[in-house]
């Protein structure tokens, strides 16, 4: 099996031993506590679940700077994006060596982790900008990732953590959330050697299904791990249970037995495009995938990144041998009316836009809400049915 990034075995920071877990929770109740921001909380969940192996906690300023500039820590570990605990509320932290980290995303803010504080360092505005510019390739305050990052705080509270919960991800998505440990275990159980990981936040239509199959075929994979980004519902989002049911129906009907796993993980989108694509690859290696599908505009937003920047970064900036996982570079896929099948757009340079069956997200949602199934060249009818039932209820609910 492919090794985790940076170590021989996976070392998740979640405290699995129930006695130790209980004792730590008790101890934490009497520790000074810091309310995390959402980004730091998301990092804790990823560290706890083994996805950020081999990191042992939040980076200090020096590591963050060198990771931002060179994609490696001061110890030489390859890592694409600083993993920070930024705050402005250092009063409760100052002078303490051990603190409790509280979860901003769960009511009553339970303890998410216990931290041994090694440093509390202030970033200058110049340093914050330096990191943002390296990670996001822009300082445009209109870039959602930059705006968020610059709002998190000036102080980096760094040191190892022991994670005590998976925040709301495990409780709100009980059938879908998976740790990297679990996915590794299941890959081993299934006997898969070559494993493609596929990132999604949305229901999968025919083009996505075929993209997975193209990736699997190209690399000779035994299976695909469909790995959904889980998070709180935002306006216009389809609820996770509906999305999951639609994806599971697709797997049941259109994938050979034992060739697809439907799973999810909890993190915040950074919108860091290329750098985020590399981070995505790192944590897919940690969960045991040997290959990762990266398409157009992976993890991008607006027009900040070139369509294939999230692919070329692997050739141009990731040192050879830094990662074991391999990238399957993809383009958009869509049904070709000329060829009567789903194709990857780059493979049909003679096609014009009119040669494809393309529907905007808005258009698809509109159709589904009216009970009109998208054409079978776009959606599997059984998948469309599940989505239609949801959108029609939505429409009825609003009427």
Residues that bind a copy of itself (CB under 8 A): 14, 16-19, 21, 25, 107, 165-166, 170-172, 174-175, 179, 181-182, 185-186, 188-192, 232-233, 239-241, 248, 251-252, 256-258, 260-262
Q: Determine how β-strand 223-230 pairs with β-strand 195-200.
A: parallel
Q: How far is the CB of 257 from a copy of itself (least distance, A)?
A: 2
Whether the Cβ atoms of residue 65 and residue 72 lie closer than 8 Å to each other: no
CA-to-CA distance for 116 and 125, rounded, in angstroms? 26
Q: How far is the CB of 99 from a copy of itself (least distance, A)?
A: 20
Count, in order, helices (H) and strands (E) of the chain. 13, 15
Tell me which residues are annotated as active site: 201-202
Q: How far is the CB of 327 from a copy of itself (least distance, A)?
A: 25
H-helix segments, 258-375? 273-286, 309-316, 361-369
- Beta-carbon-side half-sphere exposure of residue 316 (alpha carbons within 13 Å): 8
Whether the Cβ atoms of residue 164 and residue 26 lie closer than 8 Å to each other: no
Complete edge-to-edge strand list for the sheet that includes strand 223-230: 260-266, 223-230, 195-200, 291-294, 326-329
Q: Which is nearer to a copy of itself, 131 or 240 (CB)?
A: 240
Unique residue bearing structure tokens 């694409």? 80
Q: How far is the CB of 294 from a copy of itself (least distance, A)?
A: 24
Q: Which is nearer to a copy of itself, 7 or 258 (CB)?
A: 258
Phi, psi of 393 (to 5 degrees): -60, -40
């Amino acid at each position: 099996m492919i090794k985790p990034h940076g170590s021989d075995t996976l070392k998740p920071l979640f405290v699995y031993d129930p006695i130790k877990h209980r004792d730590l929770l008790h101890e934490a109740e009497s520790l000074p506590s810091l309310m995390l921001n959402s980004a730091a909380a998301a990092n804790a969940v990823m560290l706890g679940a083994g996805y950020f192996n081999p990191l042992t906690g939040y980076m200090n300023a020096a590591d963050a700077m060198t990771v931002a500039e060179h994609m490696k820590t001061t110890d030489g570990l390859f890592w694409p994006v600083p993993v920070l605990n930024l705050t402005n509320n250092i009063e409760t932290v100052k002078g303490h060596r051990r603190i409790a980290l509280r979860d901003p995303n769960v009511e009553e803010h339970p303890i998410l982790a216990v931290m041994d504080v090694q440093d509390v360092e202030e970033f200058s505005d110049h340093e914050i900008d330096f990191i943002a510019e390296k990670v996001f390739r822009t300082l445009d305050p209109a870039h959602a990732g930059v705006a968020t990052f610059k709002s998190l705080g000036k102080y980096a509270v760094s040191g190892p953590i022991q994670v005590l919960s998976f925040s709301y991800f495990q409780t709100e998505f009980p059938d879908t959330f998976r740790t990297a440990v679990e996915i590794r275990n299941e890959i081993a159980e299934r006997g898969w050697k070559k494993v493609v990981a596929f990132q999604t936040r949305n229901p999968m239509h025919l083009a996505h299904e075929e993209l997975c199959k193209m990736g699997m075929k190209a690399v000779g994979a035994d299976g695909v791990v469909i790995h959904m980004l889980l998070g709180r519902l935002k306006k216009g989002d389809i609820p996770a249970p509906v999305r999951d049911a639609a994806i599971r129906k697709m797997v049941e009907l259109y994938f050979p037995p034992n060739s697809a796993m439907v799973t999810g993980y909890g993190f915040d989108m950074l919108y860091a495009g290329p750098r985020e694509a590399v981070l995505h690859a790192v944590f897919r290696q940690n969960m045991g995938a040997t290959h990762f599908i990266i398409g157009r505009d992976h993890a991008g937003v607006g027009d900040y990144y070139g369509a294939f920047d999230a692919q070329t970064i692997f050739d141009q900036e990731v040192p050879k041998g830094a990662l074991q996982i391999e990238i399957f570079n993809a383009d958009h896929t869509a049904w070709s009316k000329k060829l009567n099948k789903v194709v990857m757009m780059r493979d049909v340079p003679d096609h014009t836009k009119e040669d494809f069956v393309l529907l905007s997200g808005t258009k698809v949602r509109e159709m589904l809400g009216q009970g009109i199934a998208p054409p079978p060249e776009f959606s599997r009818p059984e998948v469309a049915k599940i989505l239609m039932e949801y959108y029609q209820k939505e429409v009825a609910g609003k009427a």
